[in-house]
């Protein structure tokens, strides 16, 4: 099989899932849900890296809006290095409404990231049913998405840069949850 046909088969074998799929996934879990929500991440390299980190951290699903966000492109799949195949990628029509529905129908707590938050990611309990909510490149979380979060947390920064790339920040937050959950092996 040549390289191009292998890539084409990969593209057709993986599909984005819907909000209904998300609730089916959550209903089948035998452990507290661990979700990553990406609010309008547009760079395919960032989404691919987030999917790769999500897979490594044992995330049950990655959720993103259909509008103003990148989907599962060939670049995303390549950068994800298997993460796109292993972690369900859920595209929703209205992220705020999906978060409201998740709050009503599940026991998920939403932890959003913000450089203006008073608590650090290390000070928040990430051991139970949790959704970590990351904002887009540059603008961060949208106002309504941030309002839907139960907690806002910042990543402690001691250097001179004022922010991290969204995929790096997602990795830091996901693996803080892994550390707290005691699942690291």
Domains of the chain in start order, with CATH, are 3-181 (3.40.1280.10)
Average pLDDT rounded to a whole number, residues 135-140: 85
Structure token pair of residue 175: 């693996």
Predicted local confidence at residue 139, as pLDDT:
84
pLDDT bracket for residue 13 (50, 70, 90): very low
pTM: 0.89
Q: Is 61 helix (H, G, I), strand (E, B) or coil?
A: strand
| Residue 141 contacts residue 39 (beta carbons within 8 Å) | yes
> pLDDT by residue (tens digit) across 56-114?
999 999 999 999 999 999 999 999 998 899 999 999 999 999 999 999 989 899 999 99
Q: Which residues are within 8 A (CB) of 101 and not within 5 positions of it... i.e. 6 or more apart?
A: 19
pLDDT tens-place string over residues 138-172: 888 999 999 999 999 999 999 988 888 999 999 99
Task: Say what the pLDDT of residue 183 is.
Answer: 55
Rounded Cα distance between 24 and 85, Å, is: 18
To the nearest 10°, the Cα dihedral for 30, 128, 57, 16?
70
């Amino acid at each position: 099989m040549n390289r191009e046909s292998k890539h084409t088969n990969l593209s057709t074998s993986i599909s984005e899932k819907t909000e209904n799929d998300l609730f089916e996934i959550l209903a089948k879990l035998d452990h507290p849900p661990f979700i990553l929500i990406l609010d309008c991440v547009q760079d395919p390299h960032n989404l691919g890296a987030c999917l790769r980190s999500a897979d490594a951290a044992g995330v049950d699903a990655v959720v993103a809006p259909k509008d103003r966000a990148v989907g599962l492109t060939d670049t995303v799949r390549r950068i994800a290095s298997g993460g796109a195949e292993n972690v369900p990628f859920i595209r929703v029509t209205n992220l705020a409404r999906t978060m409201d529905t998740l709050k009503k129908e599940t026991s998920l707590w939403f932890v959003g990231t913000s450089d203006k938050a008073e608590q650090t990611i290390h000070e928040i309990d990430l051991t139970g049913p949790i959704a970590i909510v990351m904002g887009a490149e540059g603008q961060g979380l949208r106002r309504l998405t941030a309002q839907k979060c139960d907690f806002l947390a910042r990543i402690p920064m001691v250097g001179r840069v004022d922010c991290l790339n969204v995929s790096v920040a997602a990795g830091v937050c996901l693996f803080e949850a892994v550390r707290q959950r005691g699942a690291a092996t």
